[in-house]
């Protein structure tokens, strides 16, 4: 079983749609959960960061973590063409290696 | 805050030459920086962990003599691709860690990446 699974897409939605991006993981040691957004030919930028189960909201973005199911999600409300990018989930264990473990990324296109 | 600057953003070189990529933390000190490589439509592949004042730690399968890493100060790490070959053409991204709001958490800030093309 892979440590992190993320559907690579591509995912194409109309402007204004609600987008749901998901990752599953198998390592119970993961305690910190992140979502990065990467525009084409750019480095990833941190979007959301959380360390507990439940929801965390920031503007149009909501990160959801379910530790019991080892499942995290990123929801984008009222999606915009500027949201078109690749979204990477990332994980970090408590007190362990400083290395982040990344998903392969989901490519999202929001069509105007 | 927590900005990482990477230079050059794009470089084209001939086979056999060496190319140096710089990674700077602009507004914070980074004792640890990470170098990643990314192929088209693929995720980030960690190459090495760069520690200020000590030798870098390379991931399995990464050639130490091919990819030289130097972390001479708390704000600068460099990656030198030696005797570059066409198969070294890729997108190289550096990152630096800074403490997240929760104790024990490490969040990475990434540079904009450097696209290397070896002819």
- Could you report the per-residue pLDDT of B84-111, keeping only the tens digit for each? 999 999 999 999 987 655 545 567 889 9
Query: What is the per-residue pLDDT across A61-108, written as a single tens digit (0 to 9) for each?
Result: 999 999 999 999 999 999 999 999 999 999 987 665 567 889 999 999
What's the rounded Cα separation, in Å, for the pair A111 and A84?
Answer: 8
What's the rounded Cα separation, in Å, for the pair A2 and B24?
Answer: 33
Shortest distance, CA A33 to any CA of chain B (angstroms): 10
Cβ <8 Å between A102 and B100: no
Instruction: Give the residue with greater pLDDT, A51 vs A80.
Output: A80
Shortest distance, CA A84 to any CA of chain B (angstroms): 15
Specify the range with the lowest mean pLDDT, choosing from A31-40, B23-32, B82-91: B23-32
Residues of B in contact with A104 (CB under 8 A): 42-43
What's the rounded Cα separation, in Å, for the pair B14 and A111?
Answer: 40
Query: What is the per-residue pLDDT across B44-95, written as a single tens digit (0 to 9) for each?
Result: 889 999 888 888 999 999 999 999 999 888 899 999 999 999 999 999 999 9
- Residues of chain A with pLDDT > 70, as a percent, come to 95
Q: Which two tokens stand for residue B18?
A: 């060496």
State the pLDDT at residue A77: 97
State the pLDDT at residue B44: 87
* Res. B17 pLDDT band, cuts 50 70 90: very high
In this predicted structure, the answer to whether residue B26 has a pLDDT above a threshold of 80 is: yes
In whole angstroms, what separates CA B94 from the centre of its chain? 3
Residues of B near A (CB-CB distance < 8 A)?
4, 6, 32, 34, 41-44, 46, 49, 91, 93, 95, 97, 100-102, 104-113, 115
Residues of A in contact with B23 (CB under 8 A): none
Q: How far is CA A93 from CA B82, B106, B117, in A?
A: 34, 9, 35
Shortest distance, CA B89 to any CA of chain A (angstroms): 14
Residues of B in contact with A42 (CB under 8 A): 112-113
């Amino acid at each position: 079983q892979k440590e992190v699974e993320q559907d690579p897409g591509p995912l194409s939605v109309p402007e204004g749609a609600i987008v749901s991006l998901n990752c599953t993981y198998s390592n119970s040691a993961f305690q910190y959960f992140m979502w990065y957004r990467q525009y084409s030919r750019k480095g990833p930028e941190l979007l959301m960061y959380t360390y507990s189960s439940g929801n965390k909201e920031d503007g149009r973005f909501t990160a959801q973590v379910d530790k019991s199911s080892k499942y995290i999600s990123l929801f984008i409300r009222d999606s915009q063409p500027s949201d078109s990018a690749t979204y990477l989930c990332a994980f970090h264990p408590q007190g362990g290696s400083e290395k982040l473990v990344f998903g392969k990324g989901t490519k999202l296109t929001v069509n105007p | 805050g927590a900005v990482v600057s990477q230079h050059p953003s794009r470089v084209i070189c001939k086979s056999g030459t060496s190319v140096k990529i710089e990674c700077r933390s602009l507004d914070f000190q980074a004792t640890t920086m990470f170098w990643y490589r990314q192929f088209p439509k693929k995720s980030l592949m960690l190459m090495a962990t760069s520690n200020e004042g000590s030798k870098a730690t390379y991931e399995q399968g990464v050639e130490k003599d091919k990819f030289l890493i130097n972390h001479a100060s708390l704000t600068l790490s460099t990656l030198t691709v030696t005797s570059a070959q066409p198969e070294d053409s890729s997108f190289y991204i550096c990152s630096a860690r800074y403490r997240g709001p929760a104790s024990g958490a490490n969040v990475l800030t990434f540079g904009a990446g450097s696209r290397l093309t070896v002819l």
